[in-house]
Amino acid sequence: MLKYIPFISDKMWLENIQVNYLYTKQLGHYWEAGYCLSQIYAVGGIGIYAGFNGTQYQSAGVRFVFGF
């Protein structure tokens, strides 16, 4: 999606669509879905995610990941 933007298209970054799921007795069924760019200059990544508790929207956020 973002790889079609001219200044991003020539980068070696990876695009990812992710879905994560967690079940706990306190939260019940929690899941999140998001879109991220990873391996940005071999340092990390950035993504936008939305969280849901069951089928109800709960929150949205930005995730930054830095590798060591």
- Between residues 2 and 11, which one has the greater pLDDT? 11
The answer for residues whose C-beta is within 8 angstroms of residue 47's C-beta and 6 or more apart is 16, 18, 34, 35, 36, 37, 38, 62, 63, 65
Q: Which two tokens stand for residue 40?
A: 């940005």
**pLDDT at residue 20 above 90?**
yes
Give the chain's mean pLDDT. Answer: 89
What share of the chain in percent tops pLDDT 70?
94
* Of 20, 16, 53, residue with least CA distance to 35: 16
**pLDDT at residue 31 above 90?**
yes
Q: What is the pLDDT of residues 37-56, one digit of tens each?
A: 888 888 899 999 999 999 99
| Number of independent structural domains in the chain | 1
- Between residues 54 and 9, which one has the greater pLDDT? 54
Domain span at 11: 2-66
